[in-house]
Amino acid sequence: MTSAAPRLASTDLLVLPIFTDDPGDDLAPWNEASGGQLARVRASNEVRGKRFETHWLHIEDGGWTCRRVLLIGAGPWAEFTTGQARRLANAAGLVARRQRIGRLGLVQRGPIERVSCARALAEGLVLASFQTDPYKTGERDQGLLHEATIIAEGAEEGAITTAVERGLVLGEATNLARALSNEPSNLLTPRGFAERAHELLAGSGLAIDVLDESQIHELGMGLLAGVSRGSVEPPCVVVLRYTPANVSSRAVLGLVGKGVTFDTGGISIKPADGMERMKYDMTGGASVLGAMQAVARLRPWVSVVGVIPATENMLGGRAIKPGDVLRSASGKTVEVLNTDAEGRLILADALWYARKLGATHLVDVATLTGACVVALGRTTSGLFGEPESWVELIRQTGERAGDRLWPMPLFDDYTELLESEMADLQNIGGRAGGAITAAVFLKEFTGGLPWAHLDIAGTAWADEAKPYQPKGATGVSVRTLAELAFTSDQW
Ligand code: BES
Ligand code: MN
Ligand code: ZN
């Protein structure tokens, strides 16, 4: 993918965004190249610019090699953001693939700043190239994008190229996480996850360590060990470390991702209906892996450690049972009243381990609670943490990266709900405020460091295809985590 000065691209498809209230003053050259067709369809009101609405032009008599033009709706001019740009590029790329078009040129238009827009367009085009059917043996039903050109006018080419390259890295990291989340649990076990980490990050410059079951026991990670007991698959902890060449700050960002490769609920078993989706309960871990790949390629000036506790949550003769008491690595004891509240258990030990590795600032990401889906729906992730400045920085970073996050409270009133009769804490706090009590549980293991928790239970998976998003893993939070590593001047 390259950027280019304005020119009439020699490509198989030219994509032109059209706005509902399009000023149209930059469209003259494109109209000319289309042999006047563009002006004709715009005048006929056939093309209204409604978001993601498409209209094809077939050029017979244009003075130019490209025979097909896709007009794609971009909505109101003033409401066009980088988020809209990313979605538009993604939608255009998916339309092109459906038509088996492997080469396209996308014209950058709209009111937003050129450089960040180019980056968002690049991200969208890479997201559109994601393969959703890796296990189909016959003909795959979608083509592939081989080459895309972003056609940007009036901006400095060097800055655009850098932005596009950054977009490529962030898009690819997002796709990596999506691919892992989509994997079925028989093919992506905890050890399989660790193997993938080795394969995907070999040569990246990251240090990769995997703690095995015996090391988990030696470290006293009784919560992770407890959750894994019901499974024949042993747990592991994938540890990824990035150290910059010139450390400009003593801060160490600790990224912790829930890696439950399948969540049956354990003895507190889940209903059968929809249980297949619990293969994506390792999405937080996949996000951390993707973000670490981007970090390794983009090289921020701050150290970053990624900690991914990986396990299945299964039933079996050795499985933990409701009422069991487990001892965490931090020393706190937990009464497990519901074995389906397993994410917070493994994250508690992983947060402790990230601190042990020297993390000074923590972020965890997890498909943690159904309650968060009820609270915020399927497009906004829950954001929890303290202090407020750290939480707000993450919210803003997410907004830029294209991940919508919304702050939720952590008042002490909620902490009381986790008081256990016989241990330091119990692992559930009742139905009311379920996303918050889960977060409050995690807070007990952050050692008072700046910490944020992203609950992505609602946003990690798309149940329905959208013009800009196929069914399945969304790759939420990858770009936010990666971008966060570049904000250390604000920590
Ligand atoms: N992995 C689930 C949460 C989840 C729900 C993720 C829906 C994605 C979609 C988590 O481990 C879980 O089971 N949480 C329980 C907690 C409850 C037992 C307190 C839940 O939300 O029901
Ligand atoms: Mn669960
Ligand atoms: Zn779970």
Between the CA of 483 and the centroid of ligand 3 the distance, in Å, is 26
**Residue 143 shares a structural domain with residue 218:** no
List the residue whose alpha carbon is closest to atom 8 of ligand 1.
Answer: 457
**Residue 268 shares a structural domain with residue 142:** no
Does the residue 166 lie in any domain? Answer: no
How many Å apart are CA 184 and CA 187, to the nearest integer?
Answer: 6
Does the residue 167 lie in any domain? Answer: no
Q: Provide the pLDDT for residue 38.
A: 93
For ligand 1, whether the C-beta of 233 sits within 6 Å is no
Of 87, 119, 229, 344, catalytic: 344
For the CA of 429, the closest atom of ligand 1 is 19
**Residue 135 shares a structural domain with residue 202:** no
Q: CB within 8 A of 10, min separation 6: which ones? A: 64, 65, 66
* CA distances from residue 149 to 89, 99, 122 in whole angstroms, order as listed: 11, 18, 9
For ligand 1, whether the C-beta of 338 sits within 6 Å is yes
For the CA of 270, the closest atom of ligand 1 is 13
In total, how many domains does the chain have? 2
The yes-or-no answer on residue 270 being catalytic is yes
Contact 314, 230 (CB under 8 A): yes
Between the CA of 232 and the centroid of ligand 3 the distance, in Å, is 18
**Residue 48 shares a structural domain with residue 195:** no
List the residue whose alpha carbon is closest to atom 13 of ligand 1.
Answer: 340
Which CATH number characterizes residue 149's domain?
Answer: 3.40.220.10
For ligand 1, whether the C-beta of 31 sits within 6 Å is no
Does the residue 164 lie in any domain? Answer: no
Between the CA of 261 and the centroid of ligand 2 the distance, in Å, is 11
Per-residue pLDDT of the chain (491 residues; tens, 9 = 90+): 333 333 455 789 999 999 999 999 999 988 888 888 999 999 998 899 999 999 999 987 656 667 899 999 999 999 999 999 999 999 999 999 999 998 999 999 999 999 999 999 999 999 999 999 999 988 766 677 888 999 987 768 899 999 999 999 999 999 999 999 999 999 999 999 999 999 999 999 999 999 999 999 999 999 999 999 999 999 999 999 999 988 777 899 999 999 999 999 999 999 999 999 999 999 999 999 999 999 999 999 999 999 999 999 999 999 999 999 999 999 999 999 999 999 999 999 999 999 999 999 999 999 999 999 999 999 999 999 999 999 999 999 999 999 999 999 999 999 999 999 999 999 999 999 999 999 999 999 999 999 999 999 999 999 999 999 999 999 999 999 999 999 999 99
List the residue whose alpha carbon is closest to atom 17 of ligand 1.
Answer: 341
**pLDDT digit string (tens) for 139-197?**
766 677 888 999 987 768 899 999 999 999 999 999 999 999 999 999 999 999 999 99
Between the CA of 278 and the centroid of ligand 2 the distance, in Å, is 9
**Residue 226 shares a structural domain with residue 356:** yes
For ligand 1, whether the C-beta of 457 sits within 6 Å is yes
**pLDDT digit string (tens) for 238-272?**
999 999 988 777 899 999 999 999 999 999 999 99
| HEC per residue, the chain | CEEECCCCCCCCEEEEEECCCCCCCCCHHHHHHCCCHHHHHHHCCCCCCCCCCEEEEECCCCCCCCCEEEEEECCCHHHCCHHHHHHHHHHHHHHHHHCCCCEEEEECCCCCCHHHHHHHHHHHHHHHCCCCCCCCCCCCCCCCCCEEEEECCCCCHHHHHHHHHHHHHHHHHHHHHHHHHHCCCCCCCHHHHHHHHHHHHCCCCCEEEEECHHHHHHCCCHHHHHHHCCCCCCCEEEEEEECCCCCCCCCEEEEEECEEEEECCCCCCCCCCCHHHHHHHHHHHHHHHHHHHHHHHHCCCCEEEEEEEEEEECCCCCCCCCCEEEECCCCCEEEECCCCCCHHHHHHHHHHHHHHCCCCEEEEEECCCHHHHHHHCCCCEEEEEECHHHHHHHHHHHHHHCCCEEECCCCHHHHHHHCCCCCCEECCCCCCCHHHHHHHHHHCCCCCCCEEEEECCCCCEECCCECCECCEECCCCHHHHHHHCCCHHHC
Between the CA of 440 and the centroid of ligand 3 the distance, in Å, is 17
Q: Which of 154, 182, 197 is the last residue of a domain?
A: 154
**Residue 263 shares a structural domain with residue 141:** no
Between the CA of 278 and the centroid of ligand 3 the distance, in Å, is 7
**Residue 188 shares a structural domain with residue 142:** no
**Residue 135 shares a structural domain with residue 274:** no
Q: Which of 122, 154, 186 is the last residue of a domain?
A: 154
List the residue whose alpha carbon is closest to atom 9 of ligand 1.
Answer: 457
Ligand 1 pocket test target in 181, 368, 376, 417 with most atoms within 8 Å of CB: 368
For ligand 1, whether the C-beta of 313 sits within 6 Å is no
Q: Provide the pLDDT for residue 451.
A: 98
Between the CA of 9 and the centroid of ligand 2 the distance, in Å, is 51
**Residue 44 shares a structural domain with residue 72:** yes
**Residue 234 shares a structural domain with residue 342:** yes
Q: CB within 8 A of 36, min separation 6: which ones? A: none
For ligand 1, whether the C-beta of 342 sits within 6 Å is yes
For ligand 1, whether the C-beta of 343 sits within 6 Å is yes
Among residues 4, 180, 230, which one has the least CA distance to residue 105?
Answer: 4
Of 68, 103, 241, 270, catalytic: 270
List the residue whose alpha carbon is closest to atom 3 of ligand 1.
Answer: 369
For ligand 1, whether the C-beta of 263 sits within 6 Å is yes
Does the residue 165 lie in any domain? Answer: no
For the CA of 342, the closest atom of ligand 1 is 11
**Residue 119 shares a structural domain with residue 193:** no
Does the residue 159 lie in any domain? Answer: no
Does the residue 44 lie in any domain? Answer: yes
Q: Is 164 exposed, middle or buried (CB count within 10 Å of its CB: 0-12, 13-18, 19+)?
A: buried
Which CATH number characterizes residue 465's domain?
Answer: 3.40.630.10
Nearest 10 degrees: Cα torsion 417, 419, 424, 427? -40
Between the CA of 354 and the centroid of ligand 1 the distance, in Å, is 23
What tokens were used for 460? 């990690």
Does the residue 201 lie in any domain? Answer: yes
Q: Provide the pLDDT for residue 5.
A: 30
Q: What pTM, to 2 d.p., does this model score? A: 0.96
CA 130, 132, 137, 139 torsion-angle sign? negative
Ligand lying nearest the CA atom of residue 369: 1
Does the residue 59 lie in any domain? Answer: yes
For ligand 1, whether the C-beta of 281 sits within 6 Å is yes
The yes-or-no answer on residue 443 being catalytic is no
Write out the residue range of the structural domain in which residue 122 sits.
6-154
For the CA of 438, the closest atom of ligand 1 is 19
**Residue 228 shares a structural domain with residue 145:** no
Read off the amino acid at residue 277: R
For ligand 1, whether the C-beta of 22 sits within 6 Å is no
